[in-house]
Structure 1
């Protein structure tokens, strides 16, 4: 995602990069952060919140039962782009044992504050695969708080035809429209349309 003249790159197991793209033909590395090891890697989405000098960074779970390690959503202070500092992590869903539930447990994607959609630098929406869709308040950046969650029902029919796949949801992508209606897709369960009530 690009904000101003900075591109925020998610390079999977290569970590997070901030690039100066003032000259779009000659990007220049500003900084690089790599958290794997000890964490599981898989940096998938970097969402800049330029009005607050914050960056939300999500690491994607891609294997069943956390076989690829624990994946987190991180909050970075980017006041000094050459030295992004992790200041907190978002709370993980813990109302049930999602690792034992089967399939992928962990973050997958963020609502990206695209033009014409819901835009907020304090309310963040994320998908958590078998743990559904999550909303977080980051008004206090050192202590993100979960403010809402919806775990859709298990799919009636599996689109994933691999043998012995668990029949559980896998909330993958999320988009929030300008009216605040949440659309989340699941490659087995289709699309969920959700109203956030706080």
Structure 2
């Protein structure tokens, strides 16, 4: 790894969060203490709208279309995604519970700012994991696999001075959009 970790890791932090979406919709306890789905999202149609709205808002956060400290207004989001405020509220509750969004009473919802601790944590994890992954990949790679990576590496180098291009290039590379990625199991 080279360079300042804050430059390199910010996009990876967001991308890592994109793979942590497996938890179920927010659950609450009913009057008997058993988990139940809030009444507002019991309808299958409403659950689908809530899930698709949640995914769309989170995607906008991860891709920087909703940058840190952006104000999120329920009525604007409802209009933008073509849904009522109920799926918007449920999606925002989930994003709040995951730490992506903050709620400020009487002010609204805001995208949480990236903290230096977040960047450091991802940087440490990458330093721990990537050397062994690279070693395994190099053992499995053919000459053709390595040649296929050259344009992607060149694209990352060319984008070094353009943050947006660097994020897209790095995302494409690390999310496996690179053709013939060495050592790919599937």
TM-score (normalizing by structure 1): 0.27
Instruction: Flag the structure with higher strand content.
Output: 1
> Which of these two proteins has the greater Rg computed from alpha carbons?
2
What TM-score, normalized to structure 2? 0.28
